[in-house]
Amino acid sequence: MIKVVKFGGSSLASAEQFTKVGNIIRDDINRRYVVPSAPGKRDAKDTKVTDMLYKCYELASAKEPGEKFIAQLEAIEDRYQQIIDGLGLKLSLAEEFKTIKENFLANAGSDYAASRGEYLNGIIMAKYLGYTFIDSAEVIKFTENGDFDSELTNQILSAKLKEHEKAVIPGFYGSYPDGKIKTFSRGGSDITGSIVARACKADVYENWTDVSGFLIADPRIIKNPEAIDTITYKELRELSYMGATVLHEDAIFPVRREGIPINIRNTNAPKDKGTWIVESTCQKSKYTITGIAGKKGFCSINIEKDMMNSEIGFGRKVLQAFEDAGISFEHMPSGIDTMTIFAHQDEFMDKEQQVVSAIHRLADPDIIEIESDLALIAVVGRGMKSTRGTAGRIFSALAHANVNVKMIDQGSSELNIIIGVANEDFETAIEAIYNIFVLARI
């Protein structure tokens, strides 16, 4: 059995956290491939090493990088030294930091700079565990255009992993064909973990973080929300898209190809089962809904035209106006003689009049009205398909909470119901929906 374990920044922010991680890994001999992030925040006021590195590189790129650059680099070195000392390791990163300093001054690039966070943490982790260190630059490959080269990577990485029974592969970065370092987008160590899991055909990809799984709702809105036991890739995609963050969105794809489940776990509460993210399951979720997520900051463009219903091509013309302005739309509920387009307000605002005049020109509607400061909430659950009355419960809960529903969109997959409300009703609406399904269990 092979388990790939990825640890997030907060799990590796200090020697104390490293010790917890060491215990977790030693607790199960199947935890053979380890993907570390860079040290994260030790407390709310702290700075992630990745952010320190970006800053440091900025200072190094100044016309005359001086004391500030050196001080920042020393502060980073100090973070690692504290971990090394705290773990009582015999390890010096002096040579590494000498090279890093030279490369920073030689303009090695901000991706190179940021990647050193995971690289150095990987060296410490390998030493601490007695595992082999594999530099991700050698095994995670990008094309010349900067796209992740999944097949080449899989080939190189799976061959490499076969040579080593236990290894540490730092997260977040890889290299271009010429060897130059390239990172994934922020939070990208999740992707590395998934790539490693695919390459060794792992039985499970454990993603260790600082919460006990994927929560049913945002903890900033709901106090101590319950964690989801099992969620499908599809449900996760819906929730992540609507703003729920635990796992990098792209982390799903490599494991999905091999049907490898992801288990989100909490380094600070290792006994908690966490959330299982799976391809498909016959397990019913505990509640009718699996999760709720949402985002503020949308606007709606309501378009009316008499007899719109029978005018073939009307929708296409309206969407053409959005396409020409380079604006993607989020939802498009429609009535008999009306249709509404939801778009991100900040994206739409700058091009508002351009789009409106284009709709007039292309589709000749009677009225166009714009409404701003709207929020969209997705209520997601595979259980909805087989349960009657889900929508009814949502809307009566919202009515009781005095929330006016401005839009409803239910996809034909019956996996989610999207609700539009005013920004100011956003939190109340989420609370009302959470309460009715999770607390009241009706």
Chain residues that interact with ligand ASP, rule: CB under 6 A: 9, 37-38, 48, 50, 117, 171-172, 186-190
From the list 371, 373, 372, 417, the residue with the least C-alpha distance to 398 is 417
- Asked if 130 contacts 167 with a C-beta cutoff of 8 angstroms, the reply is no
CB contact burial 136-151 (16+ within 10 A = b; e otherwise): bbebbbbeeeeebbee
CB of 198 to ligand ASP, least distance (A): 17
The whole-angstrom separation of Cα 197 and Cα 207 is 11
Stated length of the chain = 442
Contacts (Cβ under 8 Å, ≥6 apart) of 43: none
In the numeric block, which tokens belong to residue 8? 């997030």
The whole-angstrom separation of Cα 359 and Cα 320 is 8
Strands 262-266 and 275-278: antiparallel
CB of 246 to ligand ASP, least distance (A): 12
DSSP state of 330: E
CB of 176 to ligand ASP, least distance (A): 18
In the numeric block, which tokens belong to residue 408? 């409803």
CB of 140 to ligand ASP, least distance (A): 13
CB of 74 to ligand ASP, least distance (A): 20
Residue 298, number of CB atoms within 10 A of its CB? 24
Residue indicated by tokens 């992993």: 161
CB of 8 to ligand ASP, least distance (A): 6
From the list 367, 433, 363, 382, the residue with the least C-alpha distance to 403 is 433
- Smaller CB separation from ligand ASP, 108 or 339: 108
- Smaller CB separation from ligand ASP, 20 or 48: 48
- Smaller CB separation from ligand ASP, 137 or 378: 137
- Smaller CB separation from ligand ASP, 50 or 72: 50
- Smaller CB separation from ligand ASP, 41 or 166: 41
The whole-angstrom separation of Cα 180 and Cα 175 is 5
CB of 121 to ligand ASP, least distance (A): 9
When CB distances to ligand ASP are compared, the closest residue is 189
- Smaller CB separation from ligand ASP, 49 or 376: 49
- Smaller CB separation from ligand ASP, 198 or 248: 248
